[in-house]
Structure formats: C-alpha cells, structure tokens
C-alpha cells in the first residue's frame, strides 16, 4: 500500500528519495561496447541470440517487412497514429529557430547559422511493451529540424520480428532505416558504426539501465539527448478532486516499471486516504498489476500539506518531476509558480496519458530531478549552430588596438599581434615595426 506522510515528519532526503537504478551495469556495458567496436555485426548478431533469443541473418528491416507490418495494423490505429503525428508536428513546428545576420556597424557582419544534425539515431524500447509513441515523439522533431537521415534501432521478438505497430509508426514518422537490435549493443552500434549500421551524430530515446549506461559511455563520441531514469509522475491535487481519477493517473506511470515513482501531494488528508483506497481497488484490475504494485509500494508516496496548496506546489518544485499534473481548480492561476517540471498537465481533465500519446508536446522528458536544469526533447535537440564574423579592413582598424589590449591582459601576445599586424601592413610608413608586439 502507498505510504502517506505529513509534510515535515521526515527530512527532505527521505521524502524526496527516488528509487535507484538497478545494480551496477557499468562493466557489462563497457564490455559490450568493446565487442561491438572490434567485431561489428558479428557481435550484434550474437547479442541478438543471447538477449533477444532471435537468430537473425540480417539486421536491417526490409521494405517488404515494412509493407507487411503496415498492412497488419488495424486501420483505426493507423488513423490514430496519423492524427497524433499531425498534433506532434504542429506543436514542434513552433520550435523552429532561424539563422540571423547583424549588420548594424559599418563594415561588420555578424551572424549565426542554424543547421540540422546530419544523421540521428533513435532508440525505441521493446521487451515488456511496444512504444510506437516513442517513435513519433523522437523522430518527428528530427524531421522538422531537417536531419538528413534518421536511423532507428529496436529489439526484435524471438522470431526476429519487430512489432508491427512500431514499424507502422516509423513509416508515418518518415524514418529512413530500421535495425533489429536493442540494449547497450544497439547504442554502441549507432555510436561506432558497423558493417551494416551507420555511425550517427546523436542518439536519442529512452531505455533500460543498460541503454542509459551505454549512452553515458558513448557520450563525447556522439551527442545524446539525456540519460533517462525511471518514469515519474507527481500529482498536485486539491480536496475537490475525484480520488479515482488521481489514482488512475498515478498508476499510468507506476505500470511502466517497478522502479517508476508515483507521488501525490495534496492539501487534503481526506483525499489522501481516498486515493490510497482507490489505488488498492484499481491495481488488481491492471494487466501489469505486479509491476504497478511494486512501484506503488516501494516508490509511491502521498504527501499531505494540510490546507496549504502553495506548500504543495513548493514541494513539487523541490522534487522537479518528469510529469506534473496540476489537478486543481483554475490551474492557470498557479502555472507561473511552477519552476521545475518536465511537462505540466493543467486541470482535472488532463491526464498525463494525453501527453504520452496524442496532445502534441513531447513525452521524452527529464527525470530524476534534472528538470531543474534541462528540458523536454525538442527541435532544438536536432540542430547545431555555427557563428560567423566579417570585418572590413577599415572596421578592423577601429578596434584592433582594443583587441590587442585585451589579449595582452591575458598574456597572449600572438593574439594581440594578429589583430594589429594588419594595421601595420596597411600603413605604408611602417616597414617591419609593429609597435613592439
């Protein structure tokens, strides 16, 4: 059963503690990366047999497999995927940044070029569930950014097949190539390249502890989006909320995995008790009841901020959750008070599941308190920027001495010389004398 606390009964460390990741996987992942670096496709096929129980002959999904998968998915779900994709595109198109040029001073042109990352790798989890939503969320922003090629990796089943709904979503999103590999070996393949899998410039997408550790270890060779921890939801609810709604929303994250965290912060002791009872009624009805039960019992919390909704919001800011639901009357009155959250769901009729699948904002979010300093996946994650500077001879002559003065203050004489030398060369009365620089 979920634990109920009064705020102030325990230290912040106890109240805000999150479940830790599974046992140390650093050494295992390092060995997998070494094997992929040395043996390439051979290692990937061997790991497929060992971890996925799939005896693959080739790693890449064929056009025929794509066609068969698309035809195997019911038309009703295809229509829902396409509508969700429209919503995701519409939201993320507003994030596009433009290059700019500044020419406010005579003889000076400054600017910034915004360019897409050329090749992106998208990791889509498999195993206990298929996630076509991740396909859409992690690839559509890349398409909007203009990435030249999007390469997806996802683990196959024991028959060597990828879930048809995953492949259908990939086709709708416009993914270019798909490989049947998962786990740390898939991350290694994307980061290093193999005979079949092209090396990418950035890897995005969630995964288990091995995937997260692999992303950490390859960072620097390639870029990554974030190192995601277990899923989390925090619901701020006032005493007028329906406890069945709140319990259902907590379970929407608890069913992800046993390490997921579901937290309710409320100003009502009565609601706290009612939500606890509602959880006990709802958990046995879930197909993934064993996972939800472990998550709620081990990581779930209800924190009572008695008759103080603003304290509840302060607690939410302290935790900095991945998903934050403001289940209160007039939620927009409190939006400016939220400082740290990955994605915010407003009001009593906005379950977090809307964001997971359909509404449009991204569902790849900062976890483990990193919402204090990082952001949801966006178009910004798939672009890079270069600056450019142009000065005419006359414009340089006006500032060269200032640049040299600055350089001397840092003890960098060659920097100073590079600025004033051009002035000296332009002065026909000066031969080799550059002012002692």
Question: Known catalytic residues?
Answer: 322-323
For the chain, give me the number of helices (H) and strands (E)?
A: 16, 14
Which structure tokens are listed for 134? Answer: 């991740």
One DSSP character per residue, 59-113 reads -BPPHHHHHHHHHHS-HHHHHHHHHHHHHHHHHHHTT----EEE--STTEEEEEE
Alpha-carbon distance of 3 to 17, in angstroms, equals: 13
The closest alpha carbon to 122, from 71, 173, 75, 88, belongs to 173
Q: How far is CA 21 from the centre of its chain?
A: 17
Alpha-carbon distance of 341 to 236, in angstroms, equals: 12
SS3 call for 120: strand
Q: Strand 202-204's sheet: what is its strand order?
A: 177-179, 149-153, 119-123, 202-204, 223-224
- State the first-to-last Cα distance of the chain, in angstroms, to the nearest integer: 76
Alpha-carbon distance of 47 to 40, in angstroms, equals: 11
Whether the Cβ atoms of residue 319 and residue 353 lie closer than 8 Å to each other: no
Which structure tokens are listed for 373? Answer: 């300093």
Distances 408 to 169, 171, 307, 340, 405 between C-alpha atoms, Å: 58, 58, 62, 43, 5
């Amino acid at each position: 059963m979920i634990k109920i606390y009064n705020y102030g009964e325990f230290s912040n460390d106890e109240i805000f503690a999150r479940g830790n990741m599974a046992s140390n996987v650093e050494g295992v992942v390092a060995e997998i990366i070494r094997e992929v670096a040395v043996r390439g496709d051979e290692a990937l096929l061997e790991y497929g047999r060992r971890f996925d129980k799939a005896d693959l002959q080739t790693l890449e999904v064929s056009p025929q497999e794509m066609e068969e998968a698309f035809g195997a998915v019911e038309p009703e779900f295809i229509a829902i995927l396409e509508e969700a994709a429209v919503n995701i595109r519409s939201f993320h198109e507003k994030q596009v940044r433009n290059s700019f040029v500044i020419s406010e001073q005579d003889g000076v042109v400054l600017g910034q070029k915004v360019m897409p990352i050329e090749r992106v790798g998208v990791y889509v989890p498999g195993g206990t569930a298929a996630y076509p939503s991740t396909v859409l969320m992690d690839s559509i922003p890349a398409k909007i950014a203009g990435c030249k090629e999007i390469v997806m990796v996802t683990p196959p089943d024991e028959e060597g097949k990828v879930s048809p709904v995953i492949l259908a979503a990939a086709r709708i999103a416009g993914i270019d190539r798909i490989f049947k590999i998962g786990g740390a070996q898939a991350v290694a393949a994307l980061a290093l390249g193999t005979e079949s899998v092209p090396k990418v410039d950035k890897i995005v997408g969630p995964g288990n502890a091995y995937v997260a550790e692999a992303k950490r270890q390859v960072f620097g060779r390639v870029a990554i989006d974030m190192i995601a921890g277990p899923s989390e939801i925090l619901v701020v609810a006032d005493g007028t909320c329906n406890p069945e709604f709140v319990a259902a929303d907590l379970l929407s994250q608890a069913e992800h995995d046993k390490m997921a965290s579901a937290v309710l912060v409320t100003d009502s002791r009565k609601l706290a008790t009612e939500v606890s009872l509602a959880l006990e009624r709802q958990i046995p009805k879930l197909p993934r009841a064993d996972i939800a039960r472990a998550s709620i019992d081990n990581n779930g919390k209800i924190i009572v901020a008695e008759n103080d909704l603003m304290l509840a919001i302060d607690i939410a800011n302290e935790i900095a959750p991945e998903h934050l639901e403001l289940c209160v009357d007039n939620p927009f009155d409190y939006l400016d008070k939220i400082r740290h959250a990955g994605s915010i769901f407003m009001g009593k009729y906005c379950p977090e599941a809307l964001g997971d699948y359909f509404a449009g904002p991204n569902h790849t979010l900062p976890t483990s308190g990193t919402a204090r300093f990082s952001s949801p996946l966006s178009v910004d994650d798939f672009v890079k920027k270069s600056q450019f500077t142009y000065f005419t001879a006359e414009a340089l002559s006006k500032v060269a001495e200032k640049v040299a003065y600055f350089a001397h203050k840092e003890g960098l004489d060659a920097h100073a010389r590079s600025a004033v030398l051009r002035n000296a060369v332009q002065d026909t009365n000066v031969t080799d004398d550059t002012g002692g620089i």
